[in-house]
Structure 1
Amino acid sequence: MGLVGCGTSSPADRARPARLYPFASAVYYTDAEQRAVDVQLEQATATCMRDRGFSYPPAAAAAGPPSASEPDNPYGLLDLGTARTHGYGIVPAEVQHRRRSQAATPTAPDPGYELALVGDQQRQTILDLPDGSQATVASDACVTRARQAVYGRDWDRLYFTVQALSNMVITRTVTDPAVVTAQTAWSSCLSRAGHRAESPDDLRRAIQVRAQSAADDPAIRAVAKAELAAAEADASCQEQVELGQAIRTAQDRAEQRTLNDQFRRDLEQLRNLKQAALAR
């Protein structure tokens, strides 16, 4: 069960429409939303870099429909239809990664270019977050200036605050007694189907290791077959023990426990900034 990674400047997910993220996906984006905002961020970054004397070609937004192969929430839940058709999407991602690695041509970085783009490590703003962690933001980086241009000057503080709150909700959700009971039942169901795992992430990690270790096409195909079988058993057992419903109910409780009046205001402000950016 995965927490949101603090420090991510451009959050993205490739989730199905019926997603289950804290705070109604406040710090998560659908594929279409991510493509729309990425266009703005890339253009704003290019403008900032040009003002500093560098050419920054904006990356083209990825085309095509959203991927149906990703889990629809950070808890490892998976619907049966997706599982049977796409598995976890691990093998295709590994194949694409290998192709990109083979095609990439390494170039020596220009220190001045990198400094303009990602900022000076000595000029950073440190944000204290609700979960006790910190986030650092390069104050003078063009990527930071781009986020401010697209979302507003207070975006980073709001985003990292709500991201930390989301992590707190996820942690509280997965340790909820009802979720622990449902996951134990899921593990027993999975064992009867011939798979061993304590949590949904266990199966994904095992498939990931096999995919990364596969040395040739026959080995990759064998992993792909194993992935489909594991994902189908996983989703079927989740359905049988109603793991998704247990998590939904627990997440609702966790959200109420986590928010105070200030955090509610931060959440509402972040949602407004996000929607304004997406509406452009």
Structure 2
Amino acid sequence: MVHPLIRRALSAFAAAALVAVGLVGCGGDPAADRARPARLYPFASAVYYTPEEERVIHDALENRTVECMRERGFDYQPVGGGSADVEPDNPYALLDTRTAATHGYGIVPAEIQQRQRPAATDTPQTDPTYDRALVGSQDDLVTLSLPGGEQVSVAVGGCVTVARTKVFAADWDTLYYTFQSLSNQAIERTGKDPAVNAAVASWSACVAESGYRAATPGELREQLAQRARQATDDAAVREVARAELAAAGADAACQERARLREATEQAQAAAEAALLTAPLQQDLARLRHLKQAALTSSPPP
């Protein structure tokens, strides 16, 4: 646990430290930003959101939940969320040189934000009738069978489900969880692809030349994350921030030399093609349509 005095010092120091070592974006060249490689997610990010998309969807769901709970006689207070500062997981730990130079991995800023969050408090007891109205009951569960053999239970009948149906459509849950399962399978297959493994091995040998011992890009990131978690004062945070930039720079340069992104893109495309049957292709088109409709506030058909 970080001592309160250290926490306050870190909070006051955070912005200056991150600017000093280059881990806070300062605008930059818009054209260069547009040229930055997009993150790589299965099925063209079908079940992934950008931070801005996450915020739009979150707000839409909360507003619909408020309406539903009001109709059931309850006052529901929207929950904050959908931060535009945190992007979703990078499943292959890919990194381009521009992002590495300007933002590193984003580990130190994320660690500081985590420390600044208020400590969790015990959730007060709520009215069971309110809870049932909001999330439904154990008697209102629907079990979905997914392509990977998994099963997921989804609560229905509560306002959370009503909101999701209004923002997307009645078949959203089935489509979403299906392609979440397929995305996980695509990521797993991509990680086992021989060409990807060869590129990762080449990357590992490359970063070793700069003094980093890591078998995968994810392992190198975790080494920096551990150092960030252990930093307890200003000097330590500054040192980790500098180390993060240096490691990210070497990481990105070696990914480029090993052509890791190209190997990953090709392997993921092959995995997607192997997983998508004709009916699933239609389902994917439907999922994308519903997602876009929700993001543009267009009611689904």
Q: When the two structures are superposed, what TM-score results if normalisation uses the length of structure 2?
A: 0.80
Q: Is the 8 A contact 2:58 2:82 kept in 1?
A: no
Task: List per-residue Cα deviations over 1:64-98 (Å, max 9, x = no partner).
Answer: xx55x858842110111111211111111111111
Q: Is the 8 A contact 1:189 1:237 kept in 2?
A: yes
Segment drifting more, 90-99 vs 49-58:
49-58
Equivalent residue for 1:139, pick from 156, 175, 179 = 156
Residues 235, 17 of structure 1: CA spacing in aligned structure 2 closer, same or farther, 3 A cutoff? closer
Match of 1:40 in 2: 60
Match of 1:197, SS state, is: coil
Residues 70, 229 of structure 1: CA spacing in aligned structure 2 closer, same or farther, 3 A cutoff? farther
Segment drifting more, 205-214 vs 252-261:
205-214
Task: List per-residue Cα deviations over 1:87-127 (Å, max 9, x = no partner).
Answer: 1111111111111125x665414153444333323431111
Equivalent residue for 1:243, pick from 260, 268, 274 = 260
State the shift of 1:31 in Å.
2.4
Q: Is the 8 A contact 1:19 1:72 kept in 2?
A: no
Match of 1:157 in 2: 174
Q: Could you say which structure has the larger radius of gyration?
A: 2
Separation in 1 of the partners of 2:138 and 2:218?
34
Segment drifting more, 215-224 vs 147-156:
215-224
Equivalent residue for 1:234, pick from 251, 254, 262 = 251
Q: Is the 8 A contact 1:70 1:88 kept in 2?
A: no
Q: CA RMSD in A?
A: 2.2
Match of 2:230 in 1: 213
Alignment of 1:51-130 (within 5 A): 51-59=71-79, 67=85, 73-102=90-119, 106-112=122-128, 113-130=130-147
Residues 116, 201 of structure 1: CA spacing in aligned structure 2 closer, same or farther, 3 A cutoff? farther
Q: When the two structures are superposed, what TM-score results if normalisation uses the length of structure 1?
A: 0.85
Q: Is the 8 A contact 2:50 2:88 kept in 1?
A: no
Q: Is the 8 A contact 2:51 2:82 kept in 1?
A: no
Aligned letter for 2:209?
R
Match of 1:5 in 2: none
Aligned letter for 1:205?
E
Q: Is the 8 A contact 2:204 2:214 kept in 1?
A: yes
Residues 30, 189 of structure 1: CA spacing in aligned structure 2 closer, same or farther, 3 A cutoff? same
Q: Is 1:148 matched up with 2:168?
A: no
Match of 1:28 in 2: 48
Identify unmatched segments of 5+ residues in structure 1: 1-15
Q: How many residues align?
A: 261
Q: Is the 8 A contact 2:55 2:82 kept in 1?
A: yes
Identify unmatched segments of 5+ residues in structure 2: 1-35
Separation in 2 of the partners of 1:195 and 1:202?
10
Separation in 1 of the partners of 2:146 and 2:117?
36
Match of 1:6 in 2: none
Task: List per-residue Cα deviations over 1:213-267 (Å, max 9, x = no partner).
Answer: 3223332222222211211111111011110000011111111101111211111
Separation in 2 of the partners of 1:218 and 1:83?
22
